[in-house]
Amino acid sequence: MKHVTLDDVAKEAGVSRATVSRVVNDYPHVSDNVRQQVQACIDKLGYNPHLIARSLASKKTGNIGLVFPNSIHNFFTDPYYPRLTEGIAHACNENDYTLSLFIFHTEELEKKLIPRLTRGGLVDGIIVQATGIDDNILFKIKNGEVPFLVAGRPLNLPEANYIDVDNVSGAYNAVAHLIRVGRRKIGMISGPRNTSAGLDRLKGYRQALRERNFPIEDGLVVEGDFTELSGYHAANQLLKNQEVDAIFSASDTMAAGALRAVKDHSLSVPDDIALVGFDDLPPSRTAVPSLTTIRQPIRRFGVKAVDVLIDIINNGSPPPRQVILGTELVIRESCGSI
């Protein structure tokens, strides 16, 4: 099949080659009628612009980089990350961007990847997953040449562009619900306290207790790392040392570990221990019993992250773009209220 060129489209449309180029590159100063006429000829002839040539002309790569400071094992075993990536990939496709995925341990990120990403020419923008990211790496990304957005509020970079969910109110609503259904000694499996999600969900837990005149007991909080194994060990600790009648887990994945620990103690959910998670990942719906949880819009989070980043790429970042999405309490069997 003959390769279709700009000249072929120009001849078919009865316009100059320069006009076709302006339409292809979405330049202004082309009338709507001419633009529609040229686009119709492009569709008719099956013209595909040479991507490298377009990149050189626009000084853009057409790529967005998604950086996970994590292990490949964690990426594929934690249902949160594929769901987030699905939303990001969908939005990239809708906006004609190619998504490049980078999964590196922190040391490799700092030494190998970040210097290449932030010099420009590799990607047009970067989305960085906040969990596990080192402050030093975020500062290097901020000081680089490439626009970036953090998925999750960074702790020590208040001027950064980021998107997050309302972790405080989500945790607050989870604990308030447990109190509402009659639970009186509520333990928590927190996220890592070097992350905003870990700290904010702990804040919401304490706020709900404090407002209802429940004592704040440090022994009722055990830190996890968002993995199922950490949830199992944390729940074991709560069940051995405290007479809890409910556990709020800062993630569904840790709640799955907690459910296993409760069963190992010959106890029942929800009769003996009420359990609430955070995320509303697909396994929470099929767990036995099904898991009451805080739903965060993970896929929409990914879509919105791309939308905001593209806006930054096209229009610059000042003032910082900081977006907070809402959460929702989803009541199922594990808290005994249905």
Which domains can be identified in the chain, with CATH numbers? 6-58 (1.10.260.40), 63-165+299-325 (3.40.50.2300), 167-296+329-335 (3.40.50.2300)
Question: Does 108 or 204 have the greater pLDDT score?
Answer: 204
**Distance between CA atoms of residues 92 and 109, nearest Å:** 23
Min mean pLDDT across 24-28, 83-87, 227-231 is at: 24-28
Give me the residues paired with residue 330 across strands.
293
Express each pLDDT in 210-251 by its tens digit. Answer: 999 999 999 999 999 999 999 999 999 999 988 899 999 999
pLDDT of residue 51: 52
Give me the residues paired with residue 322 across strands.
162
Residue 263: HSE in the Cβ half-sphere, 13 Å Cα cutoff? 10
Mean pLDDT of 38-61: 72
Q: How confident is the model at residue 55 (pLDDT cuts 50, 70, 90)?
A: low
Q: Tell me if residue 32 falls in helix, strand or coil.
A: helix
Give the residue ranges of DSSP H helices in the chain.
Answer: 6-13, 17-24, 32-45, 51-58, 72-77, 80-94, 106-108, 114-118, 135-142, 167-180, 196-211, 228-241, 252-264, 282-286, 298-315
Give the global pTM.
Answer: 0.81
Whether 168 has a pLDDT exceeding 90, the answer reads yes
Q: How confident is the model at residue 57 (pLDDT cuts 50, 70, 90)?
A: low
Question: Does 71 or 46 have the greater pLDDT score?
Answer: 46
CA 12 to chain centre: 46
Report whether 83 contacts 129 (CB < 8 A).
no
Share of the chain above pLDDT 70, in %: 93
Mean pLDDT of 264-293: 96
Residue type, 194: N
pLDDT of residue 149: 95
CA 179 to chain centre: 30
**Distance between CA atoms of residues 15 and 219, nearest Å:** 76
**Distance between CA atoms of residues 302 and 91, nearest Å:** 8
Mean pLDDT of 173-202: 96
Work out the angle at residue 186's Cα, subtended by the Cα atoms of residues 253 and 278, and round it to the nearest 5 degrees.
25
Q: How confident is the model at residue 164 (pLDDT cuts 50, 70, 90)?
A: very high
Min mean pLDDT across 128-142, 247-261, 288-302 is at: 128-142
Question: Does 334 or 45 have the greater pLDDT score?
Answer: 334
Query: Which residues, in sequence order, are CB contacts of 190 under 8 Å at separation 6+?
Result: 198, 201, 202, 205, 221, 222, 223, 224, 250
Report whether 18 contacts 11 (CB < 8 A).
no
Mean pLDDT of 272-297: 97
Q: Tell me if residue 163 falls in helix, strand or coil.
A: strand
Question: Does 160 or 118 have the greater pLDDT score?
Answer: 160
Question: Does 139 or 245 have the greater pLDDT score?
Answer: 245
**Distance between CA atoms of residues 301 and 315, nearest Å:** 21
**Distance between CA atoms of residues 166 and 206, nearest Å:** 15
Report whether 166 contacts 196 (CB < 8 A).
no
**Distance between CA atoms of residues 170 and 180, nearest Å:** 15
Mean pLDDT of 38-65: 75
pLDDT of residue 126: 94
CA 190 to chain centre: 19
Report whether 125 contacts 317 (CB < 8 A).
no
Work out the angle at residue 106's Cα, subtended by the Cα atoms of residues 102 and 111, and round it to the nearest 5 degrees.
85
Q: Tell me if residue 15 falls in helix, strand or coil.
A: coil
pLDDT of residue 108: 67
**Distance between CA atoms of residues 99 and 93, nearest Å:** 8
Neighbours of 166 (CB within 10 A): 17
Share of the chain above pLDDT 90, in %: 63
Structure tokens at 305: 């992250």
Whether 326 has a pLDDT exceeding 90, the answer reads yes
Q: Tell me if residue 226 falls in helix, strand or coil.
A: coil
Min mean pLDDT across 36-45, 83-92, 256-265, 289-298 is at: 36-45
pLDDT of residue 312: 93
Structure tokens at 152: 């999750």
